[in-house]
């Protein structure tokens, strides 16, 4: 496994665990089931699914991480300040960029294989 993939996956995993614990804490504190709480649960669940997918399929995981990170960023902008939203959605967007950009760079820099022919 490449180091950049591992770093991106670990970033997404740590952030997912943090937000799952945050949602569990919110639910057990008696925060009430509001519309914002339901949206937060859906987004965090999608983030966890995206993180698991990134461990199995990096390219699909990168796309899902970018979508879930952007959704969480927008959700956080609505309820928090912009710097806080960047901190909250940033890890998933960063992991998606690392996973996605690495594939693109590899596709550009790898030369096509040449077939070696032998004369008989």
List per-residue pLDDT tens for the chain, 120 residues long: 578 888 888 999 999 999 889 888 877 776 667 787 788 888 889 999 999 998 888 888 888 888 998 988 888 888 878 888 888 888 988 888 888 876 665 666 655 555 666 665
Reported as type and span, the H/E element at residue 53 is helix 35-56
45-82 b/e (C-beta count within 10 Å ≥ 16 → b) = ebbbebbebbeeebeebbbbbbbbbebbbebbeeeeee
Tell me whether residue 4 is exposed, middle or buried, using C-beta atoms within 10 angstroms of its C-beta: 0 to 12, 13 to 18, 19 or more.
middle
pLDDT for the residue numbered 52: 92
Q: Around Cβ 20, how many Cβ atoms within 10 Å? A: 16
- The predicted pLDDT at position 49 comes to 92
Count each helix (H run) and each strand (E run) in the chain, helices first: 4, 0
Q: What is the pLDDT of residue 14?
A: 93
CB 89 within 8 A of CB 16: no
Give the whole-angstrom CA distance, residue 8 versus residue 78. Answer: 27
Place of tokens 């614990």: 21
């Amino acid at each position: 496994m490449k180091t950049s993939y591992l770093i991106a996956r670990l970033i997404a995993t740590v952030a997912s665990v943090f937000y799952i614990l945050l949602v569990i804490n919110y639910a057990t504190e008696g925060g009430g089931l509001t519309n914002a709480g339901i949206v937060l649960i859906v987004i965090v669940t999608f983030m966890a699914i995206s993180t698991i997918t990134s461990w199995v399929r990096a390219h699909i995981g990168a796309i899902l991480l970018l979508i879930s990170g952007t959704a969480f960023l927008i959700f956080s902008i609505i309820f928090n300040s912009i710097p806080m939203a960047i901190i909250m959605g940033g890890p998933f967007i960063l992991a998606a960029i690392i996973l996605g950009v690495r594939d693109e760079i590899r596709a550009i820099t790898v030369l096509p294989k040449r077939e070696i022919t032998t004369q008989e």
